A and B are shown apart, each in its own frame.
Chain A
Amino acid sequence: MTTSDPIALVDHLFRKQAGQMIATLTRTLGSRHLALAEDAVQDALVTAMQQWPFRGVPDNPEAWLFQVARNRALDRLRHGKMAADKEPAIKRELAAIESPSDAPMLRGELPPVEDDQLGLLFLTCHPSLAPDARVALALKLVGGFSVGEIARAYLSQESAIAQRLVRAKRALRDEQISFGMPDPADLPARLDSVLDALYLMFNEGYAATSGDQMIRDDVAAEAIRLARMIAMHPAITAPRAFALVALMLLHAARFPARVDSEGTLFLLREQDRGKWDQRLIAEGMRALDRASAGDRITTFHLEAGIAACHAAAPSWEATDWTQIVELYDELLALTHSPVVAMNRAVAVSRVEGALSGLAALDAIDNLAALDRYPLLPAIQAELWREAGDADRAIACYRAALGLARSGPEQRWLTSRLSLLV
């Protein structure tokens, strides 16, 4: 290995392998040994970090890591067995994990990782956990993200994420939730629990525009990867999973146009549509086609439909706003969400004019829920400006500035305000 060392590792090798190894070890050992699997995998990665710089990267890094993780798990099990009692079950586990056929050293002999990852995803997204706990646990265990990275992606405190993870793992253990795909009878409800978590994983990262952009893009990419894996799995075949994939891809296609290198924010209306990722749009449209196979329309279908209208439009002005208003009407009927109602009002203003949009905003049920939301006064400001009422527009921009959470939001609002004062 002196002359032909690789110059670069595969992108995200450690992160991907962490999730796969935890999944495979948890399948082998059972979900009650989840913490042991996690520790063994962390040990294996640390060992690689210590040894590869000196020895060079092994020919098959994935198998090397898995072998070390497996041995570390075995050490920990043996140690635990001495400390606790001599359970026959543990002996069987030891035998299973020690058998030579279970010691993959060649790439082709590695375990079927996708099924294992799905098994772990169903465990970490169990309905008994709160949605935000599912998101954190899935990112940590399936995605290979650290507590610090999860906290940065969601602009939270590390201690809050760490505590959420501890509670979630304790709940899984106390309720003896098992690893693996659910029974067919439970699949619809369990699937909803996973899809809701993936939606949140994607959206919460996507929504924020301040802080660590790179980690948020990674989190969004992980949500897409997991949603694709669910949608494509032969045992699942759920149109709503394809709808979720479609909505993620159609939003992700616009990522490159949202913020420039200076961190300036571009709203949909101002984005350079030439920067949209046409490959993702095409894949999103195909996923939306497959989502229409069922007869049930979910919020994912409607949101993907709205995103598809935008993706297909050559410009903000030439967008099919009538169709978008219809989709928002259906979405509002399903969700009763004030945020949906607010976005619907924007679409109404494109069809019927700024004053109709403002009236639609005033008519939102539970408008008070949006009190701390800078987008509401920002939209009102834009509509008053369009309607020719500069004074009201200025007042609304100032109100929005008072609520803005991030640098890019503040810069955008300040620049809009400076056009009027």
Chain B
Amino acid sequence: MPKFVLLLRDAGRFDPNMSPAEMQAIVQRYIAWRAKVQQNGRAITGHKLHDKQGRVLNGAGGAMKITDGPYAEAREVMGGLFVIEASSYDEVVELTRDCPHLDFGSIEIREVQPT
């Protein structure tokens, strides 16, 4: 079964003063979506990425450039990645269409090339 990596980025739209109930509502939406993926018979695993800035390395032209990124300013509260096993891009896109993360940012889907 092909594997797909979903890279979740957020645009820093989270309110830092969210209430406990509002935070729970957000968690609830994600876990409901995970459960739906599983109910479709698809395995899903995930990792949260640290919300401190990452580094982007660029070696083009011989001189290494290191920048903070990919976003220089916004704190990526919900940045992370999922791995989903599915039959095709079409299926993953269909499964991801109602992912709650799309209210907060973008999702990049890449198929893992089998060895």
Shortest B102–chain A CB gap in Å is: 13
**Alpha-carbon separation in the docked complex, A9 to B23 (Å):** 12
A419 in contact (CB, < 8 A): no
Residues 1 to 49 of chain A near chain B (Cβ within 8 Å): 2-3, 5-9, 12-15, 17-18, 45-46, 48-49
Say whether, besides A9-B27, A146-B19, A56 and B78 are in contact (CB < 8 Å): no
Which A residues are CB-close (under 8 A) to B44?
A: 2
B89 in contact (CB, < 8 A): no
Say whether, besides A54-B82, A146-B18, A49 and B23 are in contact (CB < 8 Å): yes
In the complex, the chain A residue whose C-beta lies closest to that of B80 is A54
In the complex, the chain B residue whose C-beta lies closest to that of A144 is B20
Q: Are B24 and A146 in contact (CB under 8 A)?
A: no
Interface size on A, residues (CB 8 A): 32
A156 in contact (CB, < 8 A): no
A274 in contact (CB, < 8 A): no
In the complex, the chain B residue whose C-beta lies closest to that of A158 is B17
In the complex, the chain B residue whose C-beta lies closest to that of A41 is B20
Which B residues are CB-close (under 8 A) to A144?
A: 19-21
**Alpha-carbon separation in the docked complex, A149 to B20 (Å):** 10
Q: Are B27 and A53 in contact (CB under 8 A)?
A: yes
In the complex, the chain B residue whose C-beta lies closest to that of A53 is B30
B38 in contact (CB, < 8 A): yes
Residues 32 to 88 of chain B near chain A (Cβ within 8 Å): 32, 34-35, 38, 43-48, 51, 77-78, 80-82
**Alpha-carbon separation in the docked complex, A5 to B35 (Å):** 7
A147 in contact (CB, < 8 A): yes
Q: Are A50 and B24 in contact (CB under 8 A)?
A: no
Which A residues are CB-close (under 8 A) to B17?
A: 146-148
A55 in contact (CB, < 8 A): yes
* Selected contact of A15 from candidates B21, B34, B78, CB within 8 Å: B21
Q: Are A149 and B27 in contact (CB under 8 A)?
A: no
A contact patch SS: helix
In the complex, the chain B residue whose C-beta lies closest to that of A162 is B17
Which B residues are CB-close (under 8 A) to A414?
A: none
Counting chain B CB atoms within 10 Å of each CB, the highest count among A6, A8, A52, A56 belongs to: A52
Q: Are A146 and B31 in contact (CB under 8 A)?
A: no
Q: Are A53 and B78 in contact (CB under 8 A)?
A: yes
Shortest A35–chain B CB gap in Å is: 15
B106 in contact (CB, < 8 A): no
Q: Are A52 and B30 in contact (CB under 8 A)?
A: yes
Q: Are B46 and A53 in contact (CB under 8 A)?
A: yes
Shortest A290–chain B CB gap in Å is: 32
Say whether, besides A14-B23, A54-B46, A148-B17, A5 and B80 are in contact (CB < 8 Å): no
Could you list 14 A-B pairs, sorted by A, with CB under 8 Å?
Answer: A2-B43, A7-B31, A7-B35, A14-B27, A45-B23, A46-B18, A49-B24, A53-B48, A54-B48, A55-B48, A144-B20, A145-B21, A146-B19, A218-B21
Q: Which residues of A contact B (CB under 8 A)?
A: 2-3, 5-9, 12-15, 17-18, 45-46, 48-57, 144-149, 218
Q: Which residues of B contact A (CB under 8 A)?
A: 17-24, 26-28, 30-32, 34-35, 38, 43-48, 51, 77-78, 80-82
Given contacts A9-B24, A14-B20, A53-B34, 14 further A-B contacts (CB under 8 A): A2-B43, A7-B31, A9-B27, A15-B19, A17-B20, A45-B20, A50-B80, A53-B46, A53-B78, A54-B47, A54-B80, A56-B34, A145-B19, A146-B18
